[in-house]
Amino acid sequence: MTLAQSLLGFTLLAVVVAVTPGLDTVLVLRQALRGGRRTAFAAAAGICLGALVWGVAAAAGVAALFVASQLAYAILRWAGVVFLLYLAVTYLRSAARGQAHTDLSGSVGTAREAFVKGLLTDLLNPKMAVFYLTVLPLFLPAGYAPALAGAILAGVHALVAFAWFSVIIVGAHAVRGFLTSRRGGRAIDGAAGLAMLGFGLVLGLER
């Protein structure tokens, strides 16, 4: 497989993966509706950096350790479960309290927190390790160092994902009028909290 063929095939796959609703989409959408565009883009950047790290790790063989070792995979999985449950409790508590949206600009601290949440969401997701470890080798072009080729393909995935997140953020910004009200904010936080709780339970019960 040539580099051009590899990039084309993996880009098409990355588009399908990016537009499929999931944990990352919920996190970015919630940040866009409740924290504004700055925090949403920060969360998206964290998610994309996490994907890039997993891509390089898979190409270098590091991700194989988490798949081959049941203990390492279990530790990573339960760390992800705890983090998702933390997000779920945070969002549901905010919904119960009925906290109104107060920060449209997104302060530096809030953006930093959103970035960390996005990064941890990907780094603590063992399915990312499995995805890259099983899919990435199929697209590695001949004649290139695996780590370099993996970094390039993971970069493509990150760019595609960030572009899709940008569409979500811009769309959310256009309808934030109602959603930044007290009632709208409670609905957003409640839905996001339940979604995170569901993702956490699925990951925890996975065998």
Helices then strands (H, E): number in the chain? 10, 0
Alpha helices in 69-181 (DSSP H): 70-97, 108-123, 126-139, 146-174, 176-179
Instruction: Give the Cβ contact number of residue 45 at 10 Å.
Output: 18
Phi, then psi, of 196 in degrees rounded to 5: -65, -40
Mean pLDDT over 45-73 rounds to 79
Tens-digit pLDDT profile for residues 74-118: 777 777 678 778 777 877 777 676 654 444 333 334 888 899 989
